[in-house]
Structure 1
Amino acid sequence: MGAGLLVPLVLPVASWPVARWLAPRLSPRAATRLLTFLALVFAAGSSGALAVGAFAGLSLVPVVAELGHFTPATFTTGMPIPVAIVCCALLIAAALSAVHACHRHWRWYRRVHAELDEHSREGGVVVLPGAEPVAFAIAGRGGRIAVSTGMLAALEPGERAALLQHERAHLRLRHPSYAAVGVLAAALNPLVRPLTAAARFAMERWADEAAASCVGDRRVVATAVAKAALADRGHGSYALAAGGGPVPQRVRALLDAPVSPPRPRVVLTWLAVAVVLGCCGWSAGAGAQAAISLHADIEAAQLASCVSGSVVAQRPHREAAVRAASQDRRECAER
């Protein structure tokens, strides 16, 4: 069981090179979904492995074993208690980190919506007064887009349309939900942060392509993205802004004409997809197998304890019967 528990803990690191190589070679939509899914499964798998390891070791403690209706002597497959303590500490840290991340996200969400309520809304867009260039999208209340007057003044009319289409694409394609899943996964397991960062970049590329499709001019969208890179980051890392992510890469992707990749590259890309999905399935399967094995071991320990308890309980009766038979034989001999 020990080796099986290491697989969900090690695979997130092993998947970095393949996933990072794969992300720019997939369509932004496929990359967003794949990387978010991988991050979530790897984070859940590592948390499950820590839970199994902690319980397998702590089951050797008499108090814990008594709660499970077995004895430590009959539970022979437990992990060393120091290792279980480390697993338990990491599991508690992951749980506290997830709770803290959810709390921070909720507080940020409420604070930003409270600020947006204080400003006017024109055509579904909240216009923020101020010279500082700001533009972002936030989910909730039907989805809201905020743009500052400074940002609007810095853009040409066509660039403003491209910027708004970019932010609308974030809401229409449910990117805040993907981003929230990434925040939770990274809180549970910091080792998946490279995957969530790559997924966030893929979301921006997805919104760029959607805006280019609506506007019909990729150069205008690239110019709007470049100017929006000056956008304020004071709204926190949760906001999906047109200037987010590695802007030079996004601009270069918009300026380059879309071309169909050669067939060998397509085959290699889908082979890499199969590899990362296989790693994902391996992680989930190893964690599930460890949990099943632990459950079977506990049931065996409970059965062994039950049998041992029955033998001990019957021993006084057998001893009394032997004494009674000996007494009867002595009385017969005396007669």
Structure 2
Amino acid sequence: MIWAVWAPLLAPFLAVPAARRLAALLPPRAAALLLAASAAALGAFGAAALALLTVAALLHLPFVAALGHVRVALLPHDPAFAVPLGLAATAAALAVTADTARTLLRHARQLLRAGAEAAGRSSAGDLTVLPDDAADAYALPGRPGRVVVTAGMLRSLDADERAVLLAHERAHLAGRHHLLLLCAELAGCLHPALRALRAPLAFQLERWADEAAAATVGDRCLAARAVGRAALAASAAPSRHRPATALTATAGPVPRRVAALLAAPAATRAIPAGRTARAIAFLLAACLLASGAAAADATNDLHDNIESAQHAGPPSP
């Protein structure tokens, strides 16, 4: 177990660059789902590895072993090595837990604050208009989800561009993109290497919504113009009230998004053609499978060790 448990902790350092590279070759929806799924899986496997190291260390402590009816002398690993390593894993697990709790609390607090600010404002269906001269628009998840737009943003766009903006934000709500982004943020709490997946995921979510908006209005050039003009308006009159976790049409590297809209629609292949792309996909899949298999093997090994130490006969006099 002590060796297999390292694979989930080391795999992200290889899997993250592979996931980022592969996502750049995929259409936005597939890329976003790939990044979010990779972050979730790698984060879960890494958390499991920390938990296993923590349990293995705690079992060498006499009072913990007594609670589990485990004979410490029959555990397979040398306490001089396993205990310090496990205590370090315990400290890391506590830090990870605290960071995850802070992230969830901050996310909930920002959404509640934004929801309270939008409540009672002028609304029509899922659209809420804030009487703010700043230019802003974002998708506010909830039950029901709402598209929040400031008066300043509405004045900055013509009717067709406003239709694109609203379609973009509604695509975020329909796809529950905030959950995918939260998944990447929590994965980054579980393993520091996974933090590098948040930015490309946020970009692909914006591209996903861009493509959905372009399909809704039936004009990619109009969608590109609306995204560009909305971003310029937001930079000229920025808002201070948008929650940091909200997805907005003015976020990310806007020139890249505009260029992608002006280009031909991306292919919809699940795996892009070419040996390089397939090699990257194989590498990422291998990292995920190895990480999951190692976590399962380490769990089974620890379970067997505990059972052996519990069911062994009494020590000889």
Normalising by structure 1, what TM-score? 0.86
Equivalent residue for 1:280? 288
In the TM superposition, what are the counterparts of 1:42-81 in structure 2 within 5 Å?
A: 42-77=42-77, 79-81=81-83
Q: Could you tell me how far apart the structure 1 residues matched to 2:48 and 2:267 are?
A: 41
Which stretch of structure 1 is more off in the superposition, 269-278 or 122-131? Answer: 269-278
Equivalent residue for 2:187? 185
Matched, 1:297 2:305: yes
Task: Give the counterpart letter for 1:42 in structure 2.
Answer: L
8 Å contact kept, 2:16–2:197: yes
Q: Could you tell me how far apart the structure 2 residues matched to 1:3 and 1:237 are?
A: 40
Q: Could you tell me how far apart the structure 2 residues matched to 1:259 and 1:127 are?
A: 33
Equivalent residue for 2:24? 24
Task: Give the counterpart letter for 2:243 in structure 1.
Answer: G
Shift of 1:209: 0.3
8 Å contact kept, 2:139–2:246: yes
Equivalent residue for 2:250? 243
| Matched length | 308
Q: 1:260 to 1:204 in 2, by over 3 A?
A: closer
Deviations 1:285-320 (A, max 9, x none): 11111111011111111233xx134x54xxxxxxxx
Identity fraction in percent: 39
Shift of 1:254: 0.8
Deviations 1:171-201 (A, max 9, x none): 1122122122222222222321112321221
Equivalent residue for 1:172? 174
Equivalent residue for 1:40? 40
8 Å contact kept, 1:43–1:185: yes
Looking at secondary structure, tell me which structure has more helix per residue.
1
Deviations 1:230-267 (A, max 9, x none): 253642321010011221211111111236599x9514
In the TM superposition, what are the counterparts of 1:147-166 in structure 2 within 5 Å?
A: 147-166=149-168
Q: Could you tell me how far apart the structure 1 residues matched to 2:90 and 2:17 are?
A: 29
Gaps of 5+ in 1: 313-335
Normalising by structure 2, what TM-score? 0.91
8 Å contact kept, 1:77–1:297: no
Q: Could you tell me how far apart the structure 1 residues matched to 2:125 and 2:74 are?
A: 70
Task: Give the counterpart letter for 1:130 in structure 2.
Answer: D
Secondary structure of the residue that 1:288 maps to in structure 2? helix
Equivalent residue for 1:323? none
Q: Could you tell me how far apart the structure 1 residues matched to 2:4 and 2:253 are?
A: 37
Gaps of 5+ in 2: none
Q: Could you tell me how far apart the structure 1 residues matched to 2:219 and 2:128 are?
A: 25
Shift of 1:36: 0.5
Deviations 1:48-95 (A, max 9, x none): 101111111222221222122122211122552111111000001111
Structure 1 stretches of at least 4 aligned residues deviating more than 4 Å after TM superposition: 259-262
8 Å contact kept, 2:177–2:205: yes
CA RMSD in angstroms comes to 2.0
Q: Could you tell me how far apart the structure 2 residues matched to 1:205 and 1:232 are?
A: 22
Q: Could you tell me how far apart the structure 2 residues matched to 1:4 and 1:200 are?
A: 33
Q: Could you tell me how far apart the structure 1 residues matched to 2:175 and 2:272 are?
A: 28
Shift of 1:123: 4.1
Equivalent residue for 1:308? 314
Shift of 1:20: 1.4
8 Å contact kept, 2:171–2:213: yes
